Chains A and B, each alone.
Chain A
Amino acid sequence: MGNMKLTLKIWRQNGPKAKGELNTYPVNDVSEDMSFLEMLDVLNDDLVRKGEEPIAFDHDCREGICGSCSLFINGEAHGPGRMITTCQLHMRKFKDGDTIHVEPWRAEAFPVIKDLAVDRGAFDRIQAAGGFVSVNTSGNLVDGNAVPIPKADADTAFDAATCIGCGACVATCTNSSAMLFVAAKVSQFALLPQGKPEAKRRVLAMVEQMDKEGFGNCSNTGACEVECPKGISLEHIARMNREYLAASVTKE
């Protein structure tokens, strides 16, 4: 392992209404074993010691599952590399002397809170609009095995359900569309018998909320699927489109 010297160009923005700009930070002694966020930790440590404000960024589990981390690194959501989140991006993907651009997710629906941290509350509101099965807690539900579910359906539903809600799909979409996120949830429930009774209401309500939040429209560029750290397929968007069309045509 060698020690790398890098130049970071990082978006700094003091608050939601402040004007932001890219600032340049040189970092030395970057080990290739570091994760990208650990590299930022080292930079922040240094900034604090120098009496400067550290860079704000969202992160939590650091193992690619919580969906907190969210950086647009060198022009790509979660940086170079596929099927990984920023916390799973390691510095061995970069070379000594590289210049790395780091920006927050850019979307009207994801306003910047500070520096690289954005507000993804829109996703929660979409979920609250219909991303659930209306079943109360009960000790008297039917047995889990009462309704067999074809393995293929259960597996495809799982594939959709692996969405971590990070927002990379929105960030990478040229239109800032949230279709992949919404479709993953709609598709999961549409595939399962438990989700069927509310399928129509769900897709209409979630899409309506999505539009209200100010996300752009899906033009099927396919970028979301490529950058999605969980590899969620465009098929789910097609399934949602089917569900939506059917629901719109037959709604009362």
Chain B
Amino acid sequence: MALTGLFLCIFLIAHLAGNLQLLDMSPGGQLKFNAYAKFMTTFPLVKAVSYLLYASILFHAFDGLLLAMQNRKARPIKYAYEKANASSKWFSRQMALLGTLVLVFIVIHMKQFWYEMHWGPLGMDADGNKDLYTLVAFSFTQLWYVVLYVIMMGVLAFHLMHGFASAFQSLGLNHPRYMPIIKNVGVFFAVIVPIFFALIPVWMFINA
């Protein structure tokens, strides 16, 4: 979980860096983004990494599911009265739920963009690249879609809020001197990355 989790965190940074190009809504921005999208779907090294990514997502999801099931079995009778918040955070305890929501989101998200990019009927832009940009821009004119994105980024934020530092702990990377730093970086990461992701649909909606 930790290794795939951290790998997915790195992916998030790369994905965000690429997507921030969408904030440039000029015609030049459109061409640049589509060129970038083409590069990301055709360059062999990137393709190789993307298979690793799909595998990581699947492993992270399945392993998480398996662990969650084992954990449920480990306590067949629940407490009648439990003050769980006294000793841990709700999102730390609800990683499986948060993760499942993120997974559902990933499916929707990939159907909407990744599937269409690979196999959908997309038009061509002025440079002859598939016009993913227009699909994105169109999608984010729909309010419900923007709202879904923003909410899901909130879910992702909580998932990361626990997951980032937790991954280091699971790998044994805990040191009294560095753990506070790791925890702070984790919170920073969990807040900043989803905010920027959420910014894109909001920005495109407003500026449509």
Contacts and interface: CB of A to CB of B under 8 A. Distances in A.
The answer to whether any beta carbons of A and B sit under 8 Å apart in the complex is yes
Interface of A: 9, 11, 22, 72, 74-76, 80, 101, 103, 106-109, 172, 174-177, 214-223, 226-227, 234-235, 237-245
Interface residues of B, number: 34
**Top 7 closest pairs, chain A to chain B, by CB:** A242-B172, A75-B83, A238-B174, A216-B74, A175-B71, A241-B172, A223-B87
A150 to B, nearest CB: 15
Interface stretch (B7-15, B32-40, B48-56, B89-97): B89-97
Interface of B: 67, 70-71, 73-84, 86-89, 92-93, 95, 162, 165-166, 169-176, 179
A249 to B, nearest CB: 12
A216 B79 contact: no
Contacts, number: 112
Contacts of B80: 9, 11, 22, 101, 103
Given A108-B76, A242-B172, A219 B81 contact: no
Contacts of A174: 71, 84, 88, 93
The B interface, classified by DSSP as helix, strand, loop or mixed, is: loop
Contact of A220 (B76, B81, B92): B92
A176 B68 CA distance: 11
Contact of B71 (A216, A239, A243): A216
A75 B172 contact: no
A109 B77 CA distance: 12
Q: Which of A109, A177, A223 has the most CB of B within 10 A?
A: A223
A109 B93 CA distance: 20
A222 B91 CA distance: 12
A226 B93 CA distance: 14
Nearest to B84: A174
B170 A108 contact: no
Contacts of A175: 71, 74-75
B86 A177 contact: no
Contact of B74 (A72, A76, A80, A215): A215
Contact of A237 (B67, B89, B95, B169): B169
A227 B71 CA distance: 19
A234 B79 contact: no
Q: Which of B74, B86, B169, B170 has the most CB of A within 10 A?
A: B74
